Structure 1
Amino acid sequence: MTIKGIDVSSYQPAAYSTRGLDFVVIKITEGTSYTNPRWVAQRSTARKAGLVTGFYHFVRPGSMKAQADYFLSKINLVAGDFLVLDWEDPGVSGADKDAWIKHVQSKAKGHKVLLYCNVDYWLNRDKTSFAGDGLWIAQYNGRPGKPSIQAPWLIHQYTSTPVDTNLAKFASREAMRDWAGGRATPKPSKPKYEPFPGAAFFMKGSKPALGKSSKVFTAMGKRLVAVGCGLYKVGPGSELGEADVKSYEAWQRKCGYTGSDAKWPPGKTTWDKLHVPNT
C-alpha cells in the first residue's frame, strides 16, 4: 500500500493545494547560505492540512557538518517530522552524503533521516549503499511506485508534472507519522477538580474544622503550593491544619479579596479558580 505526497521549494507558492495528499517535503536550505524564503509558510500549509511533514537540504560541495548544522538551525522539529538530504550535485561524493546523514542522525535523535537521489546517482555514483533510514528514489519512468532498482526504497518520485509527486510505502499518513519519529511534547496535565463541598464542610460551628481528615484537604494543599500560596513547613496532608487555613486565606487575597471576605472558609469562586485555572 502507498500514500501520495509532493515536495516543494521556492518555485511553488506558499499556499499550494493539499487535496488528495498525505505528506509534503519542503526544501529549507542549500549549502550554508541559502534558505527558501517560503518554507515557513509552506510548512504552515502542510500543518493546517494535517499532512506528515518532511524537510530537505540541497547539498553542495564543502563542509558536511557546517551544512547539516545550518539546515538544523532553521527547524523547530516536532514529532512526526522527517529529514532528507537532496543529493544532486556531482561535486558531492558518496562519502560526503554519508557524513551529512550520520551527523544529522546524531543531532536529530529519533527523527528519520532519508537520502534523495535519482537512479543514476544510486547505481553509478554511490559506493556505500547507505541511505540513512530510507531511500527516496527519483525516476520518471511512467510506473508510479515501481522504480527500476533492486534496492529497497521508501519513497518514489515518479513525475515533476505539474509538481514533484511521490508515492511512499505506508498504509496511511498516521503510519508514516509514527515511522517518522520524534518525541511529542507532553500535554500539561490538568489538576484534578475536587467539587466544592460547601463552606460548612470547612467549619466547626464558627471556627475552622482543624483536625478534620479528608482527601479534599490534600488536593487543596497541593493546589495552593502550585499557585505559590502554600505556607507549609511540611507538605500538605489529609488533616486540616492552621497552615491550610493561612495558605487559603493568602490565596483569597491573591484573588483580590480583602478584609473579612478573604478570611476562612473557602468560597466556591476562589475554589474553582484554584482547581480549574482560568475559570
Structure 2
Amino acid sequence: MWLFDCGEGTQHQFLRSDLRLSQLRRVFITHMHGDHVFGLPGLLASLGLAGSSAAGVDLYGPDPLESYLNGVLRTSSTRIGYPLAVHRVRDAAEQGTLLFEDDDFMVRCTPLTHRVPAYAYRIEQKPLAGRFDIEKARELNIPPGPVYAQLKRGETVTLEDGRSIDGTSLCGEERPGVSVVYCTDTVFCEAAIELARGADLLIHESTFAHGEAEMAFQKQHSTSTMAAQTAAEAGVGQLVLTHLSPRYVPGNPVTPQDLLDEAKAIFPNTLLAKDFLSIDVKPRCNSS
C-alpha cells in the first residue's frame, strides 16, 4: 500500500477505514507544510509499536524530510524498529528521470510552483498481461495448478512431459495499465500540465474558488478553475478536486459544490474528493 502525504490525523482515518496500516510500504510527501507531514512521525511510530512493518517503509519527499523526521524521533526518544529509508526526490524531479520502478509500477515527479519546494507525482501502471485462455490450455493437456499462474504471467514453462510452453501464446494482447497524477500544492503551472499529460486520473488541489484568484496567486495555490484548466490542457480522463480551504464549508456563502460547479464548467468529468472516497480508475485508449 502507498500513501501520498500524511497530514495530522491520518492514522486515525486509517482506523476508521478498511485499510490495514501494516500493509504500508511507501509514503510520498509533496512538500513540508504541516498539513502534509504532521501526521507522519506518529504514523511511523505506531507502525513500530505494532511490530507489523518488518518489510520496512520507503519515504520519498523534499530534502528537509529526513532531518525533520530524525529531529522529531530523536527529541521524542521514539525508536523505529524496522527498516526506514528516505529518498530525496529533487534530482529525479529536476532531471526528469524515474523516481521509482518495480515490476508493476513507475513513478515520476516534477517541481511545482509553491512557496516552498513542492513536487507532483505521476504513478504509471505497467501494461498488464493479456487474458489467459484456459480452454486453449486444456486443449494442450496442460495440467491445472501453479503452472497456470506462471503461464498467465507470460513465462515459458517446461512441463513434466518435457514440452516447453510459452505463456504468451496462451494470453491475449497486453492490456494498458492506468496512470494517476497527484498534484498539490501549486498555483497553475506548465509543469503540472506536462506531468499530467494523458493521465487517466488527476488529483489536483483546489484551495480557492475562482473569485479568489488573486489570493491564489499570492499564496501560490490553485483555484477550482485552475485545476480544471490543467486537466483540460493535459487531456486527462478524470479530475478530482482536493485540498479545499475550510472557508468553503457548507453554510458559507461559497460552498464546495460551487467550486465543483466552477470546475465542471471547464472540465465536466470532475469529482469532489471526500473522506474514504474510492475510485475505480480505468485506462483510456489514448493514455500515455
Instruction: Tell me the TM-score normalised to structure 2 length.
Output: 0.31
Structure with bigger gyration radius: 1
**So what's the TM-score if we normalise by structure 1?**
0.32
Q: Which has the higher contact order (CA 8 A, sep 6+)?
A: 1
